[in-house]
Amino acid sequence: MKEIIQPIIGILVVVFVWYVFRSIAKTFSKINVIEENQEDITDLLREIKEELKELNKNNSEKKL
């Protein structure tokens, strides 16, 4: 009986370690995607800010 249980426990340990490693890898992948999206959003907001400044400047010049 002991000869059968040891391989089963070994397989379960390998499966558990694989599952934990996979979960950690997915988490890091999500973090990288979030960081990339954050950089893109920051760049987009900077562009919008510059455009709004330019439009505001143009509107101010037209009123004068």
pTM score over 0.75: no
Q: Which residue has the higher pLDDT, 34 or 8?
A: 8
**59 phi and psi, to 5 degrees?**
-65, -40
Comparing 34 with 10, which gets the higher pLDDT? Answer: 10
Distance CA 61, CA 63 (A): 5
Tens digit of each residue's pLDDT (9 = 90 or more) over 39-60: 889 999 999 999 999 999 888 8
Torsion over CA of 23, 28, 32 and 37, rounded to 10 degrees? Answer: 50
Answer yes or no: is pLDDT of 62 > 80. no
Is the per-residue pLDDT at 10 higher than 70? Answer: yes
pLDDT for residue 22 is more than 90: yes
**H or E element, residue 16:** helix 2-63
